[in-house]
Amino acid sequence: MPGHDPAPRAEWDARLSDAGSPVCTPGWLALREPADAAARSAELAEQVRRLAPTVVRDVGCGTGSMGRWLAPRLPGPQQWILHERDPGLLERAVAGMPATIVAQGRPGDITDLRAADLAGTSLVTASALLDLLTADEVDALAAACAAAGCAVLLTLSVTGHVEIAPPDPLDAVLAAAFDDHQRRTVDGRRLLGPDAGPVAEQALTRHGMTVLTRPSPWRLGPDSAELAEEWLRGWISAAVAQQPGLSAEAGRYLRRRLVASAAGVLRVTVGHVDLLAVPS
């Protein structure tokens, strides 16, 4: 409304990201891309290389970081079909794929994909996506992939495991509130959050696929201080949104963490899991 000022941003609010939101800014995706690349399981990528996929669908592709990481590891000619609801991100993803790869964009919501849409697909990939879905949506994706007979590589699903050094008395309280926020209900949809990995493994197994999982944690230190700060801000902000009473301590907590970061002693481990499923 005219003359209405937006709510002031809190000291701890994230600048580039909104924890648990399906909307990601290009700046946030660019900031996290090196950490994502370092964390993803090279062992599972090697398993995928042996499958020699020729048609790959990257669902919820963002700006295409999965393609930039995985395509150079795969043999032979490849066609990548990139699915993304945000047209701006999709345009960036197609333009950013390796020059040797044939890439095309498909706008739309990945929850609409069915087995018929995956005809001819060798591999379905996704990165940092499952925790934003519901159990029914994950089951539908698993059913579609199994019916289409394509392999599935799902990377960087949060596990809820967080370690921050040096330790702080508020760490565990914030972690629990953040996990509750990730499992919140939005428009009638209960998000999986840190339960996404086990739920996906169970769904794919139930639909007759053979599943391998490997840990893929972020390990953030002085060389990734900017990402650690942005992650911390998003982590704190989500925790406070879930438990507003934490706002009384949130600012002081963030300042303590930023002092440790400036001194070069802050270390953050954020747990993720990667999952590879192949038709039995």
Residue 112's pLDDT band (cuts 50, 70, 90): confident
pTM of the model: 0.94
Q: What is the CA radius of gyration of the chain?
A: 19
- The answer to whether the beta carbons of residues 159 and 271 sit under 8 Å apart is yes
Tens-place pLDDT, residues 52-96: 999 999 999 999 999 999 999 999 899 999 999 999 999 999 999
Tens-place pLDDT, residues 180-195: 999 999 999 999 999 9
Integer Cα distance of 9 and 277 in angstroms:
42
Integer Cα distance of 123 and 48 in angstroms:
9
> Does the pLDDT of residue 220 top 80, yes or no?
yes
CATH number of the domain at 26-279, please? 3.40.50.150
- The answer to whether the beta carbons of residues 181 and 244 sit under 8 Å apart is no
Which among 119, 111, 52 has a CA at the least distance from the CA of 81? 119
DSSP tag of 194: G
Integer Cα distance of 99 and 81 in angstroms:
14
